Amino acid sequence: MFIAQGETLEKIVKENDINALDLLLKPNGRIQNRGKFFKSALMLSAHNLKHLLKIDTLKSDCIILNLEDGVAKEYKPLALRLSAYFLSKIAQSSKKLVVRVNALEEGGLEEIQFLNAYKPDASRVPKVRAIEDVEKALDVLDKGIDLHLSIETKEAFSNLETLQFKGRVKAVYLGVLDLFADLGFSQGLLKPENPTLHYLLAEFLIGAKSINALPVSFVFQDYQNMTEFSRWLELEKMMGFSSKGCVSPMQAEEVMKFFDIEDKELERAHYIIELFEKMKEKGVTGFADDKYGFIDEPIYKGALKLVQQK
């Protein structure tokens, strides 16, 4: 869909020509993806045209257009405008398209305002510490755009359950490397067997769930080590996670398969929903079933949540 201007874009990016790129920008009123759930949050550096041109073909249900870490200061204005350009050319997508802006005091507020016209599905804000940061972001974020937060400071981790504001925060991402640095922990502790990691993951998971935000587990940076990546996925799935950050297409594809809801689980959920609703019409909200044992309202609500994630 970008072939017509491919050569122009390549030249603009190569020369870091912001003025020329501004001439190509035109909001198109895209139809946003309103889905809340996604499995694989794949990070793309927004100044890398080669990566952006692959958005359609990537096997991930959430793309993070990154303006922050990994984008040199001199390329941040280019990355911002390329994000806007690609959003303007994607009228509708089954993938969640999220822009990770810079910290609010480092240009993030201005980036959020700039992107409003191009309607990302969400803006993801890093380095938040307290509810005041959330309110600052929402003051400039259009109401039709979701807010996502990176939880990577010790204050944000401790205050996670206080960071929701009027239901606008839809997802939170655990930034474990930054959090470890903030807490003074060695990155050598990042192993699936480490009980400290189990505690951090559990606290993050419960905190996110308590504010009705999707918990997205941390990015595993050693993207070529798929054996270790799979070990993390096994732990996270066992704990209750259903979404993870990724830095490579191979990681994203593995997450999509690993967190996919199995047919048997869906079959069970649909069966429970149908049976419970029939029994509720008769005034019965707790009963024994030959197939799945005792079924009551909490079991029914769990089945509904599972179906909604699919």
Q: Which residue has the tokens 């209750």?
A: 240
Taking only the tens place, the pLDDT of each residue in 32-57 is 999 889 999 999 999 999 999 999 99
> Is pLDDT larger for residue 1 or for residue 28?
28
- pLDDT given at position 53: 93
Is the pLDDT assigned to residue 6 strictly greater than 70? no
pLDDT band at 70 (very low <50, low <70, confident <90, very high): confident
Which residue in 247, 251, 245, 254 sits closest to 48, CA to CA? Answer: 247
CA angle centred on 102, ends 81 and 219, rounded to 5°: 105
Q: Quote the CA–CA distance of 109 and 125 in Å, as a whole number.
A: 9
State which CATH number among 3.40.50.800, 3.40.50.620, 3.20.20.60, 3.40.50.970 fits the domain covering 3-260: 3.20.20.60
Could you tell me where in the chain the CATH 3.20.20.60 domains are found? 3-260
The per-residue pLDDT for 4 is 45
Residue 290 confidence class, pLDDT cut points 50, 70, 90:
confident
Q: What does the alpha-carbon distance between residue 231 and residue 91 come to, in Å, rounded to a whole number?
A: 37
Angle made by CA atoms 147, 90, 101, in degrees to the nearest 5: 35
Give, for 151, the enclosing helix (H) or strand (E): strand 146-151
Could you tell me whether strands 293-296 and 214-216 are parallel, antiparallel, or unpaired per DSSP bridges?
A: unpaired
- Contact between 57 and 114 under an 8 Å Cβ cutoff? The reply is no
Average pLDDT, the chain: 92
Output the pTM of the full model.
0.86
Question: Can you tell me the distance from the alpha carbon of 305 to that of 108, in angstroms, rounded to the nearest whole number?
Answer: 33
Give tens-digit pLDDT for 75-93. Answer: 999 999 999 999 999 999 9
Contact 115, 99 (CB under 8 A): yes
**Closest among 218, 160, 152, 150 to 183, alpha carbons compared:** 152
What are 238-275's pLDDT values in tens digits?
999 999 999 999 999 999 999 986 556 777 888 888 88
**pLDDT score of 5:** 57
Residue 232: closest CA among 264, 266, 194: 194
